[in-house]
Chain A
Amino acid sequence: MTATQTAPVKSGAAGSAVFADSDSRKYRYFEPRGKRATHYEDVTVDVQPDPERYLLQDWIISFPNGRGAYSKDNTAALSSNWHLFRAPDQEWERTHYQRQSKIEAMVQAVIANGRKSGAPLHFDKAWVRVLQNHLGAWKHAEFGLGTSLMQAQRYGYTQMINNATLTNSSYKLRLAQDITLYLAEIGMDIGNFDDEAGKRTWLEDGIWQGTREAVESIMGSEDYLEQYFAINIVFEPMVGELFRSGFLMQVASPNGDFITPPVISAAEADYERNLANAIDLFHLLAHDPEHGAHNKRLFQAWLHKHVALANKAAAGLQPIWSQPHSKPVQYSDARAQSVERIGKILGELGLDLPKE
């Protein structure tokens, strides 16, 4: 048995030999958004391939209707370059776990410390009913949005779109679980706390039926970008922030509750990131050199549908502002703030808020 022996290699380390491309230490198959590729871009761009980048053999398995694993027509929106989008939050696995983990640690510390000091026992009685019924109902809205986004992350044409949708889903589902466990834990300290009232309220109370209809409409959409748009561009500013920032965050402490605001505050920070991602994506589409006009018409149609649902949802929630003993903020002020907020968002995108 003999074979030509290869020359021994003394070291496998960078720089131990000089030859063609011995210094090629950057991914060179995509154009970074900025001067240099970010870490997020390096671990994200082009991991999901397509026939344009770079499937020589096209998709090699198809659905029975002939469509491949990912199709551009999973949404009615059009793009001259789906690959352009980069998520401004630059999220990849490590930053995602670090952020989620920090939030969980903060939320649990706040709840544990509050409970140690007996804080839930000092919550105003009417406020306890608000938490039990309405925060209890809200967790289902967050869950519905989270499952919609979980569905949506299957459909986008690029890895960047799908991963931004995936992390958005992860944030929503974490919040739904955080609220669930928070209520269960303070419920153990508060006498006669009905942990199942929230779901009943969500399903049966007239106050919540507009919100439930809006969430179910998002869950029922077959267009993944419509789901992403309806959640981040419409529902979140008009209903999500209205209830979280416009009510819970401001009304809790005057009613003796210093725990709920930090639990909910994480969601507001989540939304800032998800909103930045969504605005960047929809701005690209609304200003697409070939399809911008088509996309703006489409987005206006989505606005027409989902703003109407969100208006109905917001109006339905109005009685909640009257239920706590201490009422530091009025529904009309919170509502005006949320209308101003969506106006600013739509202004960024060059879209118009439909008239009520």
Chain B
Amino acid sequence: MTSTLTLNKITAQKGISVADAAKKIADLGWNPSYVQEAMTFPTDYKITKAPKDPMKQVLRSYFPMQEEKDNRVYGALDAALRGDMFRNVEPRWVEWMKLFLAIIPFPEISAARSMAMVGRLAPGEDLRTGFTMQMVDEFRHSTIQMNLKKWYMENYIDPAGFDITEEAFGKCYATTIGRQFGEGFITGDAITSANVYLTVVAETAFTNTLFVAMPSEAARNGDYALPTVFLSVQSDESRHVGNGHSMLMSMLKEPENHLLLERDMRYAFWQNHAIVDAAIGTFIEYGTTNRDKNKESYAEMWHRWIFEDYYRTYMLPLEKYGIKIHHDDVQTAWKRITEKNYVHKIAQFFSVGWPVNFWRIEAQTDKDFEWFEHKYPGWYAQFGEYWKWYAKLSHRGQTNMLFNADTGYVYPHRCWSSMVPCVVREDIVTDMIDGKLHTFAHELDRWTAVEAFASEYQGRPTPAMGRFSGRREWESCYHDWDLADAIQDLGFVRTDGKTLVPQPHLRFEEKEMWTLDDVRGHTIKSPLITLREMSPEQRETHLAAYRAGFTINPCN
């Protein structure tokens, strides 16, 4: 036997190269001649250049790879139970997972559905395998996340909220934000939704905060399950980023697409910022108990992932293809997070409305105050008293935070575009749509609803563009309802028929838990209906006062 002889040399056989395999598979498609394929999801974009598949992976290697990833995930979940993870997990954190995991499976499965839309529009078959894998990936994400939620429900101290999850998703005043996100992937112009909003912006930019930054915080709170699942999910995203970029490059070849791309990049970036930063920013900053001053704040992570990684290396280079990039939008988003306390004001909104949520929100404490002040100088002066009020009013017998006039908090208007409330009060704008007044969190939100989601854009017909519809202002659904009746209608009552699913604390004693009787006697008012009922003069006065903001009264 010579020293160079190996088993590999004996058993090796000539195989097909990856490039050749991808090429042959891309040749499976053909141009139908008997019956033309139905063009069921229209777009105003013109796409003539076939997108290339940058990954060149085939299903033969894809399925075993995913099975192996799954084995690691499910093995880790078993190990977490054996290691008694829930004994040490921070309930403050897991409670927010009731909201997060109620939202995220729907956008995920919507992304699977949207592959039908781009798959049909993309000329050629080169990227078909990429779309197929993404379709199955998103099916994976949706069901693996539902499984994680079931796992929390089975093992966490308070399963209430997890147990009504998908029903709650359709009803809650906070999940409406997530529905805007998920429906945005599948409705309207097929390229606007399935390519630009989903892949080019949400997946390429914001999954970094969703699926990378958030798992880090989970681990700091003793939750090793969420990082296991979501880092595995994120490992699929690089393929999706490739799909999106390849389609984008095909569209850039047509100069007549450039105006639409400018519009959609603008809409998608701004709305992703408004929605994802509101939700994930709150989970990371307010759902944690870890107050290590050396860790990055959400603002610092945003700068790394969104500003440096996405804006500088992905968005900016698009300018060389002739796309106008709105640098000022990125700067405005950055300033909203750093100077205008966007995330902190959203956390106020989520917590003030705790009775119409379906999870527990605990008050922030001295330890939290210190960290916030360190990371966001001036935080305490603006938010400290609020959270002291929140802690004080978390006990039964107090008037709940949502209706307690002593605090000085003014319930916000809802943005008709992003569904996130107009928490940066000075930026609120109004406009008329179909003869009716609407409120918007920012001029860019007004532009999105009024100018971008319309049948014409800057003189160009856009017949495929979607429309904002439905009963978009959540508060209108319960205008003039008693709070207790609304909670009952929402289904946010435990099976004893009286105890609320949501609680403004993490005290697990029965006597501490709020019931319907504790919240009865307060009438919900829709800010929008109220505004519309005002005379023009009253309205101006109201909006001027709204823009001036409010001051939280001292809590003694």
Contact = CB atoms under 8 A, between A and B. Distances in A.
Contact of A21 (B67, B163, B369): B163
A177 B58 CA distance: 8
Nearest to A17: B508
A198 B37 CA distance: 22
A29 B468 CA distance: 28
Contacts of A48: 106, 109
Given A101-B66, A177-B60, A25 B163 contact: yes
B317 interface: no
What's the interface size class on A, roughly? 35 or more
Interface in A14-54: 14-30, 39, 42-49, 53-54
A146 B59 CA distance: 13
Nearest to B68: A101
Given A151-B116, A159-B109, A162-B113, A101 B158 contact: no
A154 B366 CA distance: 49
B319 interface: no
A13 interface: yes
A219 to B, nearest CB: 5
B33 A216 contact: yes
B362 interface: yes
B146 A13 contact: no
A12 B87 contact: yes
Contact of B32 (A46, A54, A216): A216
B449 to A, nearest CB: 11
Contacts of B33: 216
A310 to B, nearest CB: 14
B325 interface: no
B463 to A, nearest CB: 6
B67 A9 contact: no
Contacts, number: 382
B112 interface: yes
Given A44-B146, A61-B466, A14 B156 contact: yes
Given A150-B132, A169-B135, A181 B143 contact: no
Nearest to A163: B139
Contacts of A269: none
A173 B34 contact: no
A131 to B, nearest CB: 15
A134 interface: no
Residue of B13, B114, B176 contacting most chain A CB atoms (<10 Å) = B13
A92 interface: yes
A258 B20 CA distance: 25
A350 B392 CA distance: 66
B242 interface: no
A217 B32 CA distance: 9
A60 B180 contact: yes
A184 B15 CA distance: 9
B346 interface: no
Interface stretch (B182-190, B210-218, B347-355, B526-534): B182-190
Contacts of A43: 142-144, 146-147, 150
A5 B135 contact: no
B21 interface: yes
A185 interface: yes
Contacts of B187: 59, 61-63, 68-69
What's the interface size class on B, roughly? 35 or more
Interface stretch (B254-262, B296-304, B335-343, B469-477): B469-477
Contacts of A46: 166-167
A2 B58 contact: no
Contacts of B143: 43-44, 92-94, 163
Contact of B369 (A3, A9, A24): A3
A12 B74 contact: no
Given A1-B380, A3-B366, A97-B67, A47 B136 contact: no
A58 interface: yes
B365 interface: yes
A301 interface: no
Contact of A5 (B109, B146, B365): B365
B63 interface: yes
B333 interface: no
Interface in B343-399: 362-366, 369-370, 380, 384, 387-388, 391-392, 394
B89 interface: yes
B25 A177 contact: yes
Contact of A19 (B35, B41, B509): B509
A4 B369 CA distance: 12
A3 B385 CA distance: 9
Interface stretch (A108-116, A122-130, A320-328, A330-338): A108-116
Contacts of B247: none
A25 B112 contact: no
A64 B465 contact: yes
Contacts of B496: 20-21
B387 to A, nearest CB: 6
Interface string B109-123: 110111111011000
A153 B110 CA distance: 11
A220 B32 CA distance: 9
B159 A54 contact: no
Nearest to A47: B105
B37 A220 contact: yes
Given A2-B388, A56-B171, A151-B120, A11 B70 contact: no
5 contacts: A6-B506, A27-B166, A61-B188, A62-B470, A213-B34
Interface of A: 1-7, 9, 11-30, 39, 42-49, 53-64, 66, 68-69, 92-94, 96-98, 100-101, 103-105, 107-108, 112, 115-116, 139-140, 143, 146-147, 150-155, 159, 162-163, 166-167, 169-170, 173-174, 176-178, 180-181, 184-185, 188, 195-196, 199, 202-203, 212-213, 216-217, 219-222
Rank and list the top 8 A-B pairs by shortest CB-CB distance, nearest first.
Answer: A54-B170, A220-B35, A154-B116, A43-B146, A29-B167, A58-B470, A17-B508, A101-B67
Given A12-B156, A47-B142, 19 more contacts: A2-B366, A5-B366, A20-B495, A29-B167, A42-B150, A43-B146, A43-B147, A58-B469, A60-B472, A61-B468, A64-B463, A68-B469, A69-B110, A94-B147, A115-B13, A153-B135, A166-B112, A181-B16, A222-B40
